[in-house]
Structure 1
Amino acid sequence: MASLNVSSVLVVLFLTCGAVMATKENDQIIKENNCESKMGLPCVLEAFTSIFNTGTISNKCCGEVVVFGKVCHSALVKRTLENPLFKDLNPAKIIAKSIQTWNNCLALIDSPSPST
């Protein structure tokens, strides 16, 4: 249960505090693409956990990640990494996990469903 509370706090920070710390480039991308309103909070939490912690992302949330778009996905991950709360994380590792999550979700959504 404590894990859920920590993750919830991280998601809130991801969505709010990051805006103050964002570079103009990421902030501009996020604003122009209306990124912060494209995903539901449960899927934001799953995606965030799979990238910044250890976790998996459901098929449903993978669908939301793909609709969210690669531009928004990348900009929000980069903006989160700019937040001082995440200064101890390895940016290269997080970006690699972000790309892996994106590619896995894209492959899942693009793959044809098995016929019955």
Structure 2
Amino acid sequence: MASLNVYSVLVVLFLTCGVVMATKENDQIIKENNCETKMGLPCVLEAFTSIFNTGSISNKCCSELVVLGKVCHSALVKRTLQNPVFKYLNPATIIAKSI
């Protein structure tokens, strides 16, 4: 019985470390690439609404999103999905919409 408890603790520890590492990795990518400064606030809000709610994105904001680049875009979406506020969202659906 004690080995089951130790095993459970190790699994939880492993999963927690994985989430923390993923968060650090996304934060590092965002910082190194200056991702948060490459789009204007109106287009950030438009893209966010389009991906995380419902809506479309204008040609102007789509162009800014393209300039942002795939690496920054993916890191920002993944970091947002790690926020507990968005725990009710299906990550697979959000990632598919973000593409």
Aligned equivalents of 1:60, 1:24: Cα separation in 2? 31
**TM-score, structure 1 normalization:** 0.66
Aligned equivalents of 1:89, 1:46: Cα separation in 2? 18
Unpaired segments of 5 or more residues in structure 1?
A: 1-21, 100-116
**TM-score, structure 2 normalization:** 0.77
Aligned equivalents of 1:46, 1:93: Cα separation in 2? 18
Unpaired segments of 5 or more residues in structure 2?
A: 1-21
Question: Paired residues, what number?
Answer: 78
Query: Which residue does 1:94 correspond to in 2?
Result: 94
Aligned equivalents of 2:49, 2:69: Cα separation in 1? 18
Query: Which residue does 2:15 correspond to in 1?
Result: none
- Whichever of the two has the greater Rg, that structure is 2
Deviation string, structure 1 residues 7-52 (Cα, Å, up to 9, x no partner): xxxxxxxxxxxxxxx7110001000000001000000011001100
- SS of residue in 2 equivalent to 1:57: coil
Amino acid at match of 1:64: E
Query: Which residue does 1:67 correspond to in 2?
Result: 67
Moved over 2 A (4+): none
- SS of residue in 2 equivalent to 1:23: helix
RMSD of aligned residue pairs (Cα, Å): 0.9
